[in-house]
Structure 1
């Protein structure tokens, strides 16, 4: 049985960060009800229509990936009947999750006090940009700003002496990891509620998660003037922790921290046994002192063979290394396929694939279903709530539901 089976989650959120947290909760067995504005729904749905997202038919991958395994109910929260209906759902839920801004939560009467008044034992979870305190608590943000720029990540991944910062990170780059942090925090809160009876308010911010990602740099900045700068390619202290270009223009990442342990075997595999006894390179200290010369030798070595050839040569090497792959290559990676990290999902136009959550239970990949259409499950959810068809008709007539 999935670990969160029997848990009911109400999601009042849009875009990727918070919905991705709820997708993980759904992967883990929770019944996630996505509350959307009637007709319009989650603003992420409009990205294809606006041209901001490439589409293959009607498959909106930006909507599907963070919203699989959920049910959708269309409720106008601004309508008194809609808000009353939401409160009925709250009364049956274990978790309420939102990324609405503070002023919107207050205006719609879905802030902590409003929801806790209906059900004190509910876990109330917020995902936001900058935290719940301070001058920027109510400021809008996204992962490109709070997570990538302000946290220090953009600065730390920018090469030394670069005339401009590193380009903005990939789509949802900070949202996914922040959603995973929020999902984990919600699961911890549920466990705490079970153990001690207290249902906490959970807060996770993009800024906080971004800082966690570069915590080593931030902590070091307090100890070393200027922090930790990444060395240039030819000045890396350990030549076996570096990237090397192959004959066909691809890249290999070496990350062999215990270099002395693996140096002789490495040299034999790459066909340079002469480097083993070379006094310039025979120990870690010697390689560090003569790093520029050692890296030039390895540049020449790796530049002599193709990406595929090096894959075969290093396949059984025990030192840490890997290939710099494109997303297209990841799709067919044998390790990805063996572990079910990509999951097939049935759609009306055929099968599409989504990335599974990073956690598996009993070594089993998660079963995924497509993201719901706006309000697709409205009637089903309301019938489960105990409403009859006459009442559902009245709510539709009042435009309170989809």
Structure 2
């Protein structure tokens, strides 16, 4: 399966990397001289001299080959058309209509290759009043509602700590590509996929979007609290904080028993989740008084035994050295100079990680062999 990746930064490259992990031959087409913008988004850096790239680039380009092609030249356009003629999938994230100027739009390339699955990733989609706008994850988080429900109630709206809209758009695009490839086995024809960051973020509102549509009340920022479940938030402990995620009435009863207050779970104000949601302002301070009496590790140990979801809040360094991360082989440390430490694909099949064994490519490292499949 050959994939032509004309995308850059994160959403498109993330989709291309997923397909590479699943076994596709992914050829990344980059600008001569500079390549993907994220090659220079450092520090931190991996490698030295001409091979140095930003860590950001390594997170989304594993398993690909790289060629540098100038799309403003006739020769470059001919090269891309030749690649598209033999490709199964093309991923691009240019502005709406930009590739049509070069004859690299879906209609033109599917005339050359009717089996081509053509995936366009944009900020706002191919149609609608905002289709002309460039799309950036931060702006989409703002305009598509995510920031309105992220942050403390009395604080400013907050974005999420990673570009979740970009990442989820890459995942959604990948599922659509795989569906189109599966359908092609029957029809013999490709599809044109319109993947929009804005659309994905609206879909990602999930239960919060449903709450507004069904309940007619606009969700607001609640900090770490949950709009539909109580107690389900961060609580202070004797030496820090922990997350308590009580998902049902049985778990709440076991929490109260473990804390030494079994009568609370039988109180009419707290015995059911709807009652706890309605009385959260009384219940949360009550539980806070309990959690402050023990350390985080003591609570985690106690509640794990009781079957109550509870977790410490770890920083990323702690996560990367976590025993479970290491046991699951999520952290990849090959020791090879050209292969940076990376986080593996989270999916396993038959107990094996679906991860390409090819490192993120150097710019134009495969110009001499792009006509042959990767080995």
Q: Which moves more between the two structures, 59-68 or 123-132? A: 59-68
Structure 2's unaligned 5+ residue stretches are: none
Tell me the TM-score normalised to structure 2 length.
Answer: 0.88
Structure 1's unaligned 5+ residue stretches are: 1-6, 386-402
Q: Secondary structure at the match of 2:360?
A: coil
Q: Secondary structure at the match of 2:195?
A: strand
Q: Secondary structure at the match of 1:18?
A: helix
- Alignment coverage as a number of residue pairs: 368
> How far apart in 2 are the matches of 1:286 and 1:131?
42
What residue is the counterpart of 2:86 in the other structure?
A: 92
Q: Secondary structure at the match of 1:199?
A: coil
Tell me the TM-score normalised to structure 1 length.
Answer: 0.83
Alpha carbons 1:160, 1:230 under 8 Å: kept: yes
Q: Which moves more between the two structures, 314-323 or 71-80? A: 314-323
Distance 1:235 1:257, change over 3 A: closer
Distance 1:315 1:84, change over 3 A: same
> How far apart in 2 are the matches of 1:65 and 1:290?
44
Distance 1:161 1:264, change over 3 A: closer
> How far apart in 2 are the matches of 1:366 and 1:235?
34
List aligned pairs for 1:2-401, cutoff 5 A: 7-48=1-42, 53-55=43-45, 58=52, 60-146=54-140, 148-162=141-155, 164-166=156-158, 168-229=159-220, 239-250=230-241, 252-259=242-249, 261-273=250-262, 275=264, 281=270, 287=276, 290-348=279-337, 352-368=340-356, 369-382=358-371, 384=372
Per-residue deviation, residues 89-141 of structure 1 (Å, max 9, x unmatched): 11211011100113431233211122112211111111110011023212111
> How far apart in 2 are the matches of 1:269 and 1:298?
12
What residue is the counterpart of 1:393 in the other structure?
A: none
Q: 1:333, CA displacement in angstroms?
A: 2.6
Distance 1:32 1:285, change over 3 A: closer
Alpha carbons 2:114, 2:189 under 8 Å: kept: no
Alpha carbons 2:226, 2:233 under 8 Å: kept: no
> How far apart in 2 are the matches of 1:8 and 1:235?
43
Alpha carbons 1:236, 1:242 under 8 Å: kept: no
Distance 1:37 1:319, change over 3 A: same
